[in-house]
Structure 1
């Protein structure tokens, strides 16, 4: 049926309300619970938080690189005697400190560039969930002999259906970045032995335009420089699509890598 003036008016009002709400809510930390009921993301089969927690329970000294707001590390049932987390973004540093200090973990402000502010061989476990960059030589340096690096990372072309909706088709070198096999090669070049490498492609759905706005404000590297005003025409068109055709479907890519430093 053709759109009536009343229908268009209601749709426009709903767009304005959803966008205003999503554009004003805090995006500090790495907690996505605001999206409950508004977006879904299939989880990798390996269960990173649980598996990381098991390794933490066996460690003596552990480092969580790029901890975000500290939410994943704070969920670990039993932390080692010595735990340190690094983070670069000021709001996340404050959030992580509030979560982790009661657990006995120290949060270090770090620019996420080499060198890591720790001595050689300081940790028998280094973990990182969704690092922006993995500095493999630094990971190898701060690991003790026999130590383990355990990380879940964003894979190639993750959620690119949404990225390319706003930015258009991306070149092969952009779509192919963050290849798990490249991570393997880089880890081995740094002197580490890769003992596990798994990748999965997972279904993600956005149910309303507010979920899209919140996601792009929070995951800032997806559409660099994203603001509602800069992309309002595309957001309006996508809102209409969501209202008339249902959820926007994209696919998240994730890989798990575990590497050990030879004794």
Structure 2
């Protein structure tokens, strides 16, 4: 999704103009759009999201330029790793979803990176102490024992992760109020404890809450199709009544506002 720093221009033909467009046409357009990979450019001018202040892509680009070997876990379509100007001589990436795997291979293999298919929750297919840098942006789940195993002594794990109750304004609009234990999932303090239990030293841990704005119902449909854990089981047909209600709300009140949470965690394997 687009950056929302002050002064970001809006694309023509969006906002109020899209808000007055036909509901069925907006939903149909978004339902037909491809959602493979982690490129959110389809949402340009239709939705915005603030970015964390630490600049994850910039951070890992700097680390990759200084690393001898690196692994990107849950690479998606290889978008973030592919943005780095320099990759280590030994670079690998893992992905479990076949459509993303194909995109990652096309993007990263020409740059000399190995792209490896993995099963969700399966051990990493690499030797002990194989990498001095492991990175991951928005992993499905972090297997801290496996991260510790593949890191060399003195190696670093650097990850940006989804925090607790992220985009819950949308979750609860469609699913109703969520219990406290659901809202507390993906807590950064729990990540710290798991990292320490795996034998790693946490050297940085930060969290930020970031504003998101959806300017039309098509943006909501596309986002929920792509980020499937926000409303599990989301289907434009099954949720049509709630979508129409939200469409009318956006037309009457303006963009729907939600908040994502992100945390940065850096952990080091002792020498």
Report TM bin, short chain. Answer: over 0.9
Larger CA Rg, structure 1 vs 2: 1
Q: TM-score, normalised to structure 2's length?
A: 0.92
Q: 2:242 aligns with which of 217, 234, 243?
A: 234
Q: 1:39 aligns with which of 47, 52, 58?
A: 47
Asked whether 1:57 is paired with 2:57, we answer no
Q: CA deviation at 1:13?
A: 6.2
Q: 2:223 aligns with which of 192, 212, 215?
A: 215
Asked whether 1:260 is paired with 2:241, we answer no
Q: What are the superposed Cα offsets for residues 91-132 of structure 1, whole Å, 9 maximum, x if unpaired?
A: 000000000011111110001313111110000000000001
Q: 1:64 and 1:239 mapped to 2: Cα distance?
A: 38
Asked whether 1:83 is paired with 2:91, we answer yes
Q: TM-score, normalised to structure 1's length?
A: 0.95
Aligned ranges for residues 64-143 of structure 1 at < 5 Å?
64-143=72-151
Aligned ranges for residues 178-197 of structure 1 at < 5 Å?
178-197=186-205
Confirm or deny: 8 A CA contact 1:66 1:112 kept in the other structure: no
Q: What are the superposed Cα offsets for residues 150-186 of structure 1, whole Å, 9 maximum, x if unpaired?
A: 0000000000001100000000000000000100000
Q: 1:158 and 1:11 mapped to 2: Cα distance?
A: 25
Q: CA deviation at 1:225?
A: 1.1
Q: 1:155 and 1:182 mapped to 2: Cα distance?
A: 11
- 3-state SS of 1:133 partner: coil
> Which residue of structure 2 aligns with residue 168 of structure 1?
176
Judged with a 3 Å threshold, the aligned counterparts in structure 2 of structure 1 residues 11 and 132 are, in CA distance, closer, same or farther, namely closer
- 3-state SS of 1:217 partner: helix
Q: CA deviation at 1:11?
A: 7.9
Q: 2:105 and 2:264 mapped to 1: Cα distance?
A: 26
Q: 1:184 and 1:14 mapped to 2: Cα distance?
A: 47
> Which residue of structure 1 aligns with residue 56 of structure 2?
48
Confirm or deny: 8 A CA contact 2:19 2:250 kept in the other structure: no
> Which residue of structure 1 aligns with residue 12 of structure 2?
none
Q: 1:18 aligns with which of 5, 19, 26?
A: 26
- CA RMSD, 1 decimal: 1.2
Q: 2:28 and 2:76 mapped to 1: Cα distance?
A: 25
Judged with a 3 Å threshold, the aligned counterparts in structure 2 of structure 1 residues 11 and 159 are, in CA distance, closer, same or farther, namely closer
Structure 2 regions of 5+ residues with no counterpart?
1-17
- 3-state SS of 2:88 partner: coil
Q: 2:88 and 2:115 mapped to 1: Cα distance?
A: 15
